[in-house]
Amino acid sequence: MAPEKAAMDPATSLPFRRIGVLGPGLVGGSLLLALRRLLPRAELATGAPSAATRDAVLAAGAADRVFDPARTAPRDAFDGFDLVFLAAPPRVVCDVLPTLRGARIGLVTDVASVKSEVMDAARGLGNFVGGHPMAGTEGVGFGAADPDLFRGAAFVWCRPPDYAAGPETLEAFLALLRALGFRCFEMGPGEHDRRLALVSHLPHAAAFALAGLAARAGDPVLAQLVGGGFRDTTRIAASAPALWTDILRASPALPAALDGYMAALARLRDALDPAADPAALRALLEEAETYRRAIPDGLHAVPHA
């Protein structure tokens, strides 16, 4: 019997020795914590506009160096780095990307949940790969960061036509993602935005709408009656409004997804008509139940976007 191969040690096999994360919020902070655990000897740096956040990152040992992006440009702060994650809202990512053209950075990626406009902003870099980790919670900021956030989560990556950093760099990046616990999927930016509008942006919009409907009811007793159904359905409405304003406005396929959702609600409303055949309502519910139970991991809790 041939001897088993020793498990790969990411700390020694991955080529990333200096890694930057712009934006140590929920996702960026979780990346820092996960990278610190995976690559304990790597140099980690992060930029955040809040002094309190920078202090918290240092106190947690999540980075070796922090900086204020208003005082130090990311291009300068990450000079000579092997890998940089732009973990900021889409608008900020699109503003920063053009400033990185020609910078001495091995590979640049992002975590924005919209890809078309990000990929447009990255044209001409050559060392950029679009990214989106499908993981998150309703928590906000570095205080909500969790090094285990990415275990079993999907990571969507988009290779631009002008990518020129080399296949070895790309494969090392994907190996790092897998070592962090991700399942990696490649797709085009349009495919990503169409799919994410349905499975991420629309659920957030629906949760915000439902929680807002209850808020506008003006009934102080409602909150005392909330059970699991309302809590589960509106949990992500507790997400950061400023961030989600940016994401929802930047999602090119969200209007069509909302139209489809409103049409689905209209079909449900029609099925509630006393004159309607009860079988029509049951068919709608059975279709939804079948799809929900067929989702990978079934009804078990998994990281969510």
Query: Are residues 169 and 52 both part of a single domain?
Result: yes
128 backbone dihedrals φ, ψ, rounded to 5°: -110, 140
pLDDT of 119: 96
pLDDT (0 to 100) of residue 300 = 46
Q: Which residues of the chain have pLDDT under 50?
A: 1-6, 298-305
Is 1 part of a structural domain of the chain? no
Same domain? For 18 and 138 the reply is: yes
pLDDT tens column, 40-71:
999 999 999 999 999 999 999 999 999 999 99
pLDDT of residue 139: 76
Side-chain-facing half-sphere of 137: CA atoms under 13 Å: 18
CATH number at residue 287: 1.10.3660.10
Question: Distance (Å, rounded) from C-alpha 69 to C-alpha 148?
Answer: 27
Q: Are 160 and 146 in contact (CB under 8 A)?
A: no
Q: Which residues pair with 136 in a beta bridge?
A: 304
Residues 62 and 169 in one domain: yes
Domain span holding position 66: 10-188
Q: Spell out a b/e string for 197-224, using b for 16 or more CB atoms within 10 Å of the CB, else e.
A: beebbbbbbbbbeebeeeeeeeeeeeee
At 48 the pLDDT is: 95
